[in-house]
Amino acid sequence: MTASPSPIGFNFFRRRYLMDEHQSSSDYEEFDIEELEQLSTIINEQSCTTEEYYYLNDSLEDEALSTAEQNKQNYVNKNLYEMFRSDRGYLKVTDMVAPLWCGVQHSYALLDRVERKTPAMEKGTIIHLKLELETTPPKERVRTDETLAEEPWALHILLQLDGLLLLTKNGITREFPIWGFYKDSLLFGIIDELTVLKTEKDDNLLSMKDNKTRGTITIPSQSQILGSELQLMYYYHLFQEYFQNADSWWDSFLKQQDLDGKKNLGQNFLKQAIETLPSIDPKELEAHNTLSGLHALATRLTKDFQLRSLSPKLTVTYRHNISGDVIRNHIFDMNSTILNHYFHEMFAYWHNEAEPKGVPENETFKCKYCEFSERCWWLNEKAIEVWNRKRKRLYP
């Protein structure tokens, strides 16, 4: 009895990995019934059992292995930082957490230049904008000199000054830019929300929050929660260093970005700063019209206003992506050990020190909604593992 090779065997086992081993039986409906019927036709025609079919089709394994390997080689051994981030010289905090959902999916999207903007993400953006407008009136600021590399960073500092003034006036600000180093990596992020809490001694303590939107009221998966926690931990680290340890990193930042902290930002920039920050003395702004000058001014204001102490209790607030209503607050502690662990994992991912990781066995639910699942090399490898395990069990 011989069975002719067919790609059906390979796809069958990919699906077995997704369904059989780790999914609940209610997921059975998701299984491709047509494929099962095709397989059973082949088995009937050849009068063999399903197990014999798997066992006899050695050539299927070769075919599957070579397809998987070929596919994989297009998506591994790439220095993603060099390819996609070295131009700007830093990673965003979101870059440090997005691949945790699935590194293989993230690398597919980068290398195939797939813009992954889902309708749910778009709804989330609208809610974020609404929240920002509630607390932070928009200000028209533009580049005044496109040739000045220092200017985009200076514009970020004007936003920080806005935020610090709002914290003193209203006790809350949203969309606060922050950057600095974690180890030797320059990171940039935008803190969603900062609020002032009073301590028992009547000192100011800042509380940090990230708003996440969801289409359902269910609790997010563990990996989603982890990504949100890490995002806030990075912001915590950056904020502490930014205002409290400026001497230790500011010069390295200027050097790394090839910026001149002492270069005057020009009259047009100054005019814009004065017009959009009316509660700061214009003379003060004029005296600080350089990148390092503005940074020193923001740092001094945090001291004058007692806005330096951060609470290590961090909050992720889940909101409904249409109404904006709060579904749940998740409060957790800053944990440097966890942050350090995942920083190294993500550093290795971006700098090609390790292969991207696909989803672990208990999270294959993610694959069902993944646009790369049909050609995913990680699933191919897992399918082969399932195949081999089954064969070993049947024919030890």
Question: Distance (Å, rounded) from C-alpha 362 to C-alpha 249?
Answer: 41
Residues found near ligand SF4 in the complex (CB under 6 A): 102, 104-105, 108, 358-359, 366-367, 370, 372-373, 376, 378-379
Question: Distance (Å, rounded) from C-alpha 176 to C-alpha 195?
Answer: 11
Minimum Å distance from CB 104 to ligand SF4?
A: 4
Minimum Å distance from CB 4 to ligand SF4?
A: 28
Rank residues 58 and 112 by Cβ distance to ligand SF4 and give the closer one. Answer: 112
Minimum Å distance from CB 290 to ligand SF4?
A: 46
Amino acid occupying residue 204:
N
Minimum Å distance from CB 59 to ligand SF4?
A: 25
Minimum Å distance from CB 276 to ligand SF4?
A: 44
Rank residues 101 and 332 by Cβ distance to ligand SF4 and give the closer one. Answer: 101
Contact 68, 381 (CB under 8 A): yes
Rank residues 89 and 360 by Cβ distance to ligand SF4 and give the closer one. Answer: 360
Minimum Å distance from CB 298 to ligand SF4?
A: 41
Rank residues 105 and 292 by Cβ distance to ligand SF4 and give the closer one. Answer: 105
Rank residues 99 and 177 by Cβ distance to ligand SF4 and give the closer one. Answer: 99
Alpha-carbon distances, residue 318 vs 34, 196, 315 (angstroms): 39, 20, 10
Minimum Å distance from CB 358 to ligand SF4?
A: 3
For residue 173, give the H/E element and its range. strand 172-182
At 198 the three-state DSSP class reads strand
Contact 258, 149 (CB under 8 A): yes
Dihedral angle of Cα 55, 17, 359, 192, to the nearest 10 degrees? 160
Rank residues 32 and 333 by Cβ distance to ligand SF4 and give the closer one. Answer: 32
Rank residues 340 and 373 by Cβ distance to ligand SF4 and give the closer one. Answer: 373
Question: Distance (Å, rounded) from C-alpha 392 to C-alpha 210?
Answer: 48
The partner residues of 169 in beta bridges, in order of sequence, read none
The beta strand positions in 288-363, using DSSP E, are 313-320, 326-333
Minimum Å distance from CB 369 to ligand SF4?
A: 8
Rank residues 261 and 356 by Cβ distance to ligand SF4 and give the closer one. Answer: 356
Question: Distance (Å, rounded) from C-alpha 175 to C-alpha 196?
Answer: 15
Question: Distance (Å, rounded) from C-alpha 273 to C-alpha 331?
Answer: 37
Q: How far is CA 349 from the centre of its chain?
A: 13
